[in-house]
């Protein structure tokens, strides 16, 4: 993972699929293959796919983990996508929704018919005679992870798709799953696919403790994500400094999955109060330790606000055009900024697990120094420069070679060993 940068896509939205399941099959996964050149031009080399398995609506209400959603295609379509990705050196990660299933899952239908104590009923958690819904969503019924049959099923699903060539699993809602499930399920899966990477979705909780107890390779770094935008909006870089120190501590045990946007949160361009801060957030993503991902459209400055209602995710999970030439031209500048910052990351791959020292910290300014194996880079942030109209481009960096910069920020390396030591 030291060299992987993911481009995360929500497939059903990306291809403009129907909101609910369909009769017949639409072969739409090839549309993503058509974007592989764009993915590589951006600088990424991993494709992280949201739900692709048969479901009733948004993909997280799975009804068959062994079948591709007919709105996207069938197994052969995914196998072609994986082969085309590997031909270009692109890794593929699938989204494993194993905390819950949809109410139309055949096993749950059997459970409703036969009752909680039946063989099928024991696949699920119950509150009396009512199935336990995940976070109040009635269409999502929670699996009983203590049941060995459920554990076997999850392991079989993982192995089935790893055998077909995928490289990694994102494990949805891991924060709601007892880590002992993965401690039980993963060992035989790893025997079949020793190079696979497993990352759990952790919105809150004890990140280090969960990784240790579960045997996962990584978890999502929501704490750092929150600090990257709220510290800029609130002009309180002390919050960012605290989150960086916490991130440093995690590196003792694992390298977290980092991001400034994903399929579950308001777009970074809509979150930040000043659009000139977007490049600073992106610079932080590629400067700080982690396995970074770019949510499709963020590199073009897409906007979208998540709302807590039915259909409230639609704005952040949009359809993409048929090809890059149909993208609006005003997104090109942010795309090129991503290219430049990913280029910095590529040339300094040690940033993957580098510890970052926070210096000269104030509400509106900070100097961040990342080091590893004798190498060093400095990210300087000064929000006071944004008070100017227009803001100055970059910062004055004495005894440093600036490798990337923008209004209110710059990334530089020491100009000489003597400058580095001082």
Q: For residue 12, give Cα distances in angstroms to 53, 60, 264, 286.
A: 10, 11, 14, 28
Contact 78, 123 (CB under 8 A): no
Residue 335: closest CA among 299, 310, 292: 299
Which residues touch 203 (CB under 8 Å, ≥6 apart)? Answer: 175, 220, 222
Tell me the Ramachandran region of residue 214: left when phi exceeds 0, alpha when psi lies from -120 to 50, beta otherwise.
Answer: alpha
* Rounded-to-integer distance, Cα 210 and Cα 168, Å: 18
pTM across the whole model: 0.96
Taking only the tens of pLDDT, the chain with its 422 residues reads: 999 999 999 999 999 999 999 999 999 999 999 999 999 999 999 999 999 999 999 999 999 999 999 999 999 999 999 999 999 999 999 999 999 999 999 999 999 999 999 999 999 999 999 999 999 999 999 999 999 999 999 999 999 999 999 999 999 999 999 999 999 999 999 999 999 999 999 999 999 999 999 999 999 999 999 999 999 999 999 999 999 999 999 999 999 999 999 999 999 999 999 999 999 999 999 999 999 999 999 999 999 999 989 889 999 999 999 999 999 999 999 999 999 999 999 999 999 999 999 999 999 999 999 999 899 999 999 999 999 877 777 666 666 899 999 999 999 998 765 444 43
Q: Is the bond into 137 cis (omega within 30 degrees of 0)?
A: no
Which residue spans within 107-244 are E strands per DSSP?
126-127, 130-131, 133-134, 137-142, 168-171, 197-200, 218-219
From the CB of residue 67, how many other CB atoms can be counted at a distance below 10 Å? 14
């Amino acid at each position: 993972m030291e060299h992987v940068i993911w481009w995360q896509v929500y497939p059903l939205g990306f291809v403009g699929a129907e909101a609910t399941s369909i009769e017949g099959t639409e072969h739409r996964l090839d549309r993503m293959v058509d974007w592989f050149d764009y993915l590589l031009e951006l600088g990424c080399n991993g494709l992280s796919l949201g739900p692709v398995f048969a479901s009733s609506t948004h993909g997280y209400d799975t009804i068959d983990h062994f079948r591709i959603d007919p709105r996207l295609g069938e197994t052969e379509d995914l196998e072609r996508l994986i082969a085309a990705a590997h031909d270009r050196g692109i890794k593929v990660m699938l989204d494993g929704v194993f905390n819950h299933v949809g109410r139309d899952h055949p096993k749950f239908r059997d459970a409703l018919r036969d009752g909680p104590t039946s063989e099928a009923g024991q696949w699920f958690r119950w509150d009396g005679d009512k199935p336990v819904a995940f976070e109040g969503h009635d269409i999502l019924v929670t699996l009983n992870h203590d049941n060995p049959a459920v554990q076997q099923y999850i392991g079989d699903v993982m192995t089935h798709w790893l055998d077909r060539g995928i490289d990694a699993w994102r494990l949805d809602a891991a924060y709601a799953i007892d880590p002992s499930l993965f401690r039980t399920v993963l060992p035989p899966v790893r025997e079949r696919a020793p190079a696979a990477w497993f990352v759990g979705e952790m919105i809150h909780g004890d990140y280090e403790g969960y990784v240790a107890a579960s045997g996962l390779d990584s978890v999502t770094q929501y704490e750092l994500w929150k600090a990257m935008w709220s510290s800029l909006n609130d002009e309180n870089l002390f919050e960012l400094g605290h989150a960086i120190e916490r991130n440093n501590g995690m590196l003792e045990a694992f390298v977290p999955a980092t991001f400034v946007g994903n399929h579950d949160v308001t777009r970074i361009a809509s979150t930040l109060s000043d659009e000139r801060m977007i490049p600073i957030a992106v610079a932080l993503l590629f400067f700080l330790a982690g396995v970074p991902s770019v949510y499709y459209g963020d590199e073009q400055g897409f906007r979208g606000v998540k709302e807590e209602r039915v259909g409230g995710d639609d704005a952040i999970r949009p359809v993409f055009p048929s090809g890059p030439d149909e993208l609006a031209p005003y997104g090109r500048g942010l795309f090129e900024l991503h290219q430049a910052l990913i280029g910095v990351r590529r040339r300094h791959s040690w940033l993957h697990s580098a510890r970052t020292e926070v210096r000269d910290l104030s509400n509106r300014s900070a100097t961040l120094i990342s080091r590893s194996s004798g190498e060093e880079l400095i990210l300087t942030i000064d929000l006071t420069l944004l008070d100017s109209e227009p803001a100055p481009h970059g910062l004055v960096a004495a005894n440093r070679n600036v490798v990337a910069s923008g209004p209110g920020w710059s990334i530089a390396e020491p100009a000489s060993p003597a400058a580095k030591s001082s």
